[in-house]
Amino acid sequence: MWYQEMFHANKPVIGMVHLQALPTDPKYDSKGGMKKIIKMAREDLNSLQNGGVNGILFCNEFSIPYTKKINGAVIAAFAEIIGELKKDIKLPFGITCASSVKATFDIACATGADFVRAHYHGANAGVYGINDYDPGDIERYRYYIGCGNVKVLTAVIQEGTRQIAERSLEEVTKTLTFNINPDALLIYSSTPGSAIDINQVKKVKSVTTTPVFASNGVTPETIGKILQYVDGCIVGTGVKYNGNFYQQVDINRVKSLMNNAKNYE
């Protein structure tokens, strides 16, 4: 499978580097500036790589509250950070720009990313209002800017939302894989940081051969159970100090996570 070749692991564990708030974001630290953001990102990157993960995913996680109107300053800052870190990145890496799939591909194209995590389809409602995606437009944009070979990981149902037109997971999976044919499907929990529902994984895998990854709720304590059912996973908050979203990555938690995942390598 493509993911085994890319990440050199039977069931890859992708560690997240949560970027601090970027210029124009409400929580941006103008005093620390880009130097502070890059320094903190490098520390998290090194902790993840030295802790043994198989891949890296960069996200502007601290741009909360997120907006669909991503401006050029955010895209430029994101790309600058990756450029500064490029010499330190030893693993396959991916990009996700919160709330904007096109900005995600812009950054992936500029930085030479191997994969993206992006929302691609459906009409959902949640705390950020209504999200209505146009897969045909997104795919055409992806190929237009030269990202046709970049692997795409996309959610079956977006985190923290409900479908406007309720359909079963099986039906959503079938139409998603037929129309878009993503490289991997992501299973989210209903709220950030909580464990995924293994029954959802079983339902999705019952109707597709597309790889299925857990996209949140992965911790050193839960990874063993989760990897029994999925083909890989993405971990962010679960390997931070005390499992706290606002902390940085704890290399000891990363090592514990990977130790508990070793039976699936």
Please check the confidence at residue 9 and state whether its pLDDT lies above 70. yes
Minimal CA–CA distance to 18: which of 73, 66, 77, 60? Answer: 60
Structure tokens at 230: 């999925």
Please give the share of the chain, as a percent, with pLDDT higher than 90.
83
The kind and range of the H/E element at 110 are helix 101-111
Residue 64 phi, psi dihedral angles, 5° rounding? -65, 145
Amino acid 231: pLDDT: 97
**Distance of alpha carbon 88 from alpha carbon 123, whole angstroms:** 38
* Average pLDDT score over residue span 242-261: 97
Helix axes 33-51, 251-261, angle to 10 degrees: 30
Q: Residue 205's CB: how many other CB atoms inside 10 A? A: 18
pTM above 0.85, yes or no: yes
70 with 97: CB under 8 angstroms? yes
Choice among 7-11, 128-132, 141-145, 241-245 with the minimum mean pLDDT = 128-132
* Average pLDDT score over residue span 198-218: 95
